[in-house]
Structure 1
Amino acid sequence: MATITRTDIDSMEKLYRINLINSCSGYKSANLIGTQSKDGLANVAVFSSVTHLGSNPPLLGFITRPAVVPRNTYQNIRETGIYTINHIHQKITQDAHHTSAKYPKEISEFDQTDLETEYINDFAAPFVKNCHVQIGMRYVNEYIIEENDTILVIGKIEHIHIEDQILETDGFINLAKAETATINGLDGYAIPKQHTRYPYQRPK
């Protein structure tokens, strides 16, 4: 087993270090965040940092990098207050990954891929059509992570659209059945298989 010290990390070639540190935390969520500018231009971008923050109220957070250069997703969220989170699944991983390319604001990633917008129930932010889980979000707050100037954006779930066949009777969303992707590092995509479910645990 390899042992890598902090001194080793600090002296690594940049890309090697990025790959290593982005992989060591384990598999990450794979989502497309959809937004629309105040001028009506749709934007979509891949994020691997969406995380559950609480169920009551239903909150999700994600990390965006420092706003020292234009961040179209972040700017649109701050301007409009709404956005969508859409699970990436096996059939769209290549197009989803391409949304990480740095296009100027006036070019929509929807136009550069086969991903399609879908507007549901007058919600003004675009969902990604044919995603098995689509979540409408409203901006709540943000926090600067002082150690590296990244931003934790917190949103409240307004509504969730879920394919019938993956929603089980106890509210569990079967992501394996949905072929929902996960991200390993920056550019590795995997489709997990469900191993088992365990009941709620109490002290013996």
Structure 2
Amino acid sequence: MFYQPENGHGLPHNPFKAIVAPRPIAWVSTQDQAGVANLAPYSFFNAIADAPPQVMFASTGRKPDQPESKDSLSNIRETGVFCINIVSKGLQDAMNASSAPAGKDVDEFELAGLTKANCDTITCPRVDEAPAALECRLNQIIRLDGDDNYLVLGHVTGVHIKDEVLNDGVLDVTRYQPLARLGYRDYSAVESVFSLTRPKA
């Protein structure tokens, strides 16, 4: 089949997000100026540079109790910081619980039964159970085409890695099986890994 997005696809569900898959999940923790923590998963996410390390995630849609977009974006605008927690297979239910459309005064750490840990370089909590976490300082927020679509760019100022996911000094993803978003209600976990050697010039 072929379709042009502006004309619709004619399928029961939008296939776009299923085509661009798997997508890593940014489990974004933030805190507003009153000290209320927020935790929410975003699957439009990736690392975009490594020297200095930088990441991006996109926020789409909005909540009725926020002036624009969602709690994460509002808190980042207020404080200029956020933390990206990596979701392991063992945390899938907690991640899913934190995606509930809760009010802006609800602490999703409590909702999902998670433990808050202090960050070292920024002033918001991180998920203590996460195998890794990236402390980030806001670089810029870019308004994208469409209603309530925003791109958040951040510099990584601190990195947390659980000792048990390191194997001879190498991050071993098979030890925690990072979760990825597919399409629809589908997810995947990395359970096998293979290596390729780059060809020489």
Give the secondary structure class of the aligned counterpart of 1:200: coil
Q: Which residue of 2 aligns with 1:17?
A: 13
Partners of 1:64 and 1:150 within 8 A in 2: yes
Partners of 2:48 and 2:56 within 8 A in 1: yes
* Change in 2 beyond 3 A, CA 1:21/1:7: closer
In 2, Cα distance between the equivalents of 1:5 and 1:122? 46
* Change in 2 beyond 3 A, CA 1:165/1:202: farther
* Change in 2 beyond 3 A, CA 1:64/1:11: same
Q: State the 1:5 CA deviation.
A: 2.8
Residues paired across the two proteins, number = 197
Partners of 2:120 and 2:158 within 8 A in 1: no
Q: Which residue of 2 aligns with 1:88?
A: 87
Matches within 5 A, 1:123-162: 123-146=122-145, 150-162=149-161
- TM-score normalised to structure 2 length: 0.87
In 2, Cα distance between the equivalents of 1:142 and 1:75? 11
In 2, Cα distance between the equivalents of 1:190 and 1:11? 25
Q: State the 1:84 CA deviation.
A: 0.5
Matches within 5 A, 1:162-173: 162-167=161-166, 172-173=170-171
In 2, Cα distance between the equivalents of 1:173 and 1:65? 31
Give the secondary structure class of the aligned counterpart of 1:53: strand
Give the secondary structure class of the aligned counterpart of 1:176: helix
Give the alignment partner of residue 194 of structure 1, picking from 170, 173, 192: 192
Matches within 5 A, 1:53-68: 53-66=48-61
Partners of 1:9 and 1:17 within 8 A in 2: no
Q: Which residue of 2 aligns with 1:43?
A: 38
* Change in 2 beyond 3 A, CA 1:121/1:8: closer
* Change in 2 beyond 3 A, CA 1:159/1:111: same
Q: State the 1:150 CA deviation.
A: 1.4
* Change in 2 beyond 3 A, CA 1:191/1:67: closer
Q: Which residue of 2 aligns with 1:112?
A: 111
User: What are structure 2's unaligned runs of at least 5 residues?
Assistant: none
Partners of 2:122 and 2:137 within 8 A in 1: no
Percent of pairs with identical residues: 19
In 2, Cα distance between the equivalents of 1:161 and 1:31? 15
Q: CA RMSD in A?
A: 2.4
Partners of 1:60 and 1:157 within 8 A in 2: yes
* Deviation digits for residues 6-32 of structure 1 (CA, Å, limit 9, x no counterpart): 38971536xx333x2211111010231
In 1, Cα distance between the equivalents of 2:166 and 2:72? 29
In 1, Cα distance between the equivalents of 2:118 and 2:149? 30
One-letter code aligned to 1:176: T
